[in-house]
Amino acid sequence: MDETYWQSGPAWPKHARKTIDYPKEPLFAMLDRAAEKSGNLPYTVFMGKSQTFAEVQEHADRIANFLISKGIKEGDRVAIFLPNVPHFPAVFFGALKAGAKVVTCNPLYKAGELNFQLKDTDAQIVFALDHPTFTPTCYEAIKGTNVHTVIVCSVKPFLSKAKAIIGSLIGKVPKSPYYEEDKTVFYEQILTEYEPNAPVVNVDPMDTAVLIFTGGTTGLPKGAELTHYNLTSNVLQINEWVYLEEEDVQGRDGGVQYEEEVFVGAVPWYHSYGLTLTLLMATWYAGKLVCIPDPRSGKPPLSDLLSELANTKGTVLNCVPALYAAIANHPNVGKYDLSSVGICSSGAAPLPPEVAKAFEAVTGTLLFEGYGLTETSPVTHINPTNSRYRKFGSIGLPISDTICKILDMDTGMKEMPLGEIGEIAIHGPQVMKQYYQKPEETALVMREIDGKRYFLTGDVGHIDENGYTFISDRKKQMINVGGMKAYPREIEDIFFTHPKIQMAAAIGLPREEDPSNEFVKAYIVLKDGETGTPEEFIEWARGKMAGYKRPKEIDIIDSLPMSSVGKVLRRVLRDAEMEKREKN
């Protein structure tokens, strides 16, 4: 099969190059370039107050000099334990300017989870938010590690003077209950005590810039090593593809516009999705970067996100399907002016077609799905960003310089015929270097085919005759029903079409009489004000899906367990169900 045959089809964007000349430069070069060209323009925006590109560059240079003074050498690891706050870009680029590798950590982690990452990467310094929970968690997590310094980052200096004073008076500015003096440095100290001149450090663009941990669905979390080149390449690949037309989105005709976009940080920047598509894209294109520490905050939930979208006139929104569904179903969504929103991507979890349609109905924009993994920086596929060729249910086409193959699920070496199901494998400039200090784990997911290096995604799918890729499900989450393979995503997408259902998840459970055989159980969250019974939905499913896919049991619940980036945790549902059955 021609590796790039899909590029000759009508769905391939006319403006998009098949191959791109990617610059081999350190990742922080994008900040320096933006500061040089657009230094006086606002960069980070937080609660109405902004910092310019020049100011963030200065902060990053001071941080780099501080880290070097603390003994950080080229290749050492510096951890960021922060939500989406205005410190994040300066810390991120500052660590890279010192020659360090950045370890991004989920700020919602408990001490034991953070301790694992700090030990696994041998991090020496951690940046943590000044907060009643996050700071003490960090202090607890560094026990038994080689971390010798915690930089405590307060949001107070990033608030307007009035908000900072009022916040202090009423106790609304977050603050740790205590500080370990022998290990603590305050962020403000760095800004006053260290020079704003960039240090001279030799950074190889092909070397690791960031260690981002995978979700650990197949075992312990692993640190994916993403290079400066990986991430820079992916930013350019994404922008090459995205092009909106007036016939789909009023007022848009083109791709991401330099100095004009407002990127709303609704997805966490410690995650590859938020890091690349929001933080790095905003930096490369000198756009505003709106800091959203918690997109679900407000009463009702998500009200603060909707307010920020309206007040900042956000133009670029990258979210997970659960957030898009929540926005579409927000009781007050009609009260917010969302007319500025133009470029909207969905990723990190499958996008049900009904969710896309509902979001488009309340915003007037076009929502397109992308696909990728932590190990691929993350984007490998994007659906065409126009209504003519967007294909619901598909993750789209491989983007520039990306080759997708469907390989057999036993060896991962044999390419499957067009249309047949197998494991999705990816080759491209965005594919990670390796898993950190895990050569055996790396070898399990890497294959060399025809002289090219491919990453085995663990996702099962097929490619159709027009080059669109379809995912059936995760390799580990297929449900074996009497020898037939049922895929949770397919079942969930069907339930999403029911007018009463807001969210759905499907799992496989072993049959009592034959544990090697499974049946489907579904969990349903109803829309506000709706009622229903399990029997009603089982009967409804009878006319919608084959018998082996149809749930034998359904539970109606208030909410589904979600990861911090909005993925439904089917594993949690299954573990809880198995534990309940064992007790009975």
Strands annotated E in 4-57 = 42-46, 49-52
Q: Average of pLDDT values for 337-363?
A: 90
Give yes or no for residue 469 having a pLDDT over 80.
yes
User: Which two structure tokens, joined as six digits, stand for 168?
Assistant: 């202090």
Most confident of 141-155, 458-472, 559-573: 141-155
Give yes or no for residue 487 having a pLDDT over 50.
yes
Q: How many CB atoms lie within 10 A of CB 537?
A: 21
Give yes or no for residue 169 having a pLDDT over 60.
no
pLDDT band at 33 (very low <50, low <70, confident <90, very high): very high
Higher pLDDT, 260 or 173: 260
pLDDT band at 217 (very low <50, low <70, confident <90, very high): very low
- Which CATH code is given to the segment(s) 484-583? 3.30.300.30
Q: Which amino acid is at 439?
A: P
DSSP 127-161: EEE--TTHHHHHHHHTTTSS--EEEEE-SGGGS-H
DSSP-based three-state secondary structure for 279: helix
Give the DSSP H or E segment for 573.
helix 570-583
| Poorest-pLDDT segment among 21-30, 43-52, 90-99, 574-583 | 574-583
Give yes or no for residue 27 having a pLDDT over 70.
yes
Give yes or no for residue 168 having a pLDDT over 60.
no
| Residue pLDDT, tens place only, 502-557 | 999 999 998 887 676 789 999 999 999 999 999 999 999 988 887 888 999 999 99
Whole-number pLDDT of residue 60: 98
Please tell me the distance from the alpha carbon of residue 273 to that of residue 279, in angstroms, as a whole number. Answer: 9
- Asked whether the CA dihedral 24, 28, 34, 35 is positive or negative, the reply is negative
Higher pLDDT, 112 or 161: 112
* pLDDT, mean over the chain: 91
Q: Where are the domains of the chain?
A: 29-204, 484-583
| Residue pLDDT, tens place only, 301-326 | 999 999 999 999 999 999 988 889 89
**Shortest CA distance to 174 belongs to which of 135, 110, 130, 127?**
130
Distances (CA, A) of 209 to 27, 102, 103, 116, 259: 8, 6, 9, 20, 25
**Shortest CA distance to 502 belongs to which of 528, 474, 537, 472?**
528
| Poorest-pLDDT segment among 11-25, 217-231, 449-463, 536-550 | 217-231
Whole-number pLDDT of residue 393: 86
Provide φ and ψ at 170, rounded to 5°. Answer: -100, 5
Whole-number pLDDT of residue 554: 97
Beta bridge partners of 462: 470
Whole-number pLDDT of residue 6: 65
In this structure, whether the domain defined by 29-204 belongs to CATH 3.30.70.1350 is answered with: no
User: Which two structure tokens, joined as six digits, stand for 445?
Assistant: 């997911």
The total number of residues shown for the chain amounts to 584
Give yes or no for residue 218 having a pLDDT over 50.
no
Give yes or no for residue 9 having a pLDDT over 90.
no
Strand 288-291, strand 262-265: pairing: parallel
Whole-number pLDDT of residue 230: 98
Distances (CA, A) of 291 to 87, 95, 421, 425, 481: 10, 20, 41, 34, 45
Give yes or no for residue 4 having a pLDDT over 80.
no
Q: Average of pLDDT values for 86-115?
A: 94
Give yes or no for residue 572 having a pLDDT over 70.
yes
Please tell me the distance from the alpha carbon of residue 308 to that of residue 45, in angstroms, as a whole number. Answer: 10
Please tell me the distance from the alpha carbon of residue 294 to that of residue 156, in angstroms, as a whole number. Answer: 17
Give yes or no for residue 496 having a pLDDT over 60.
yes
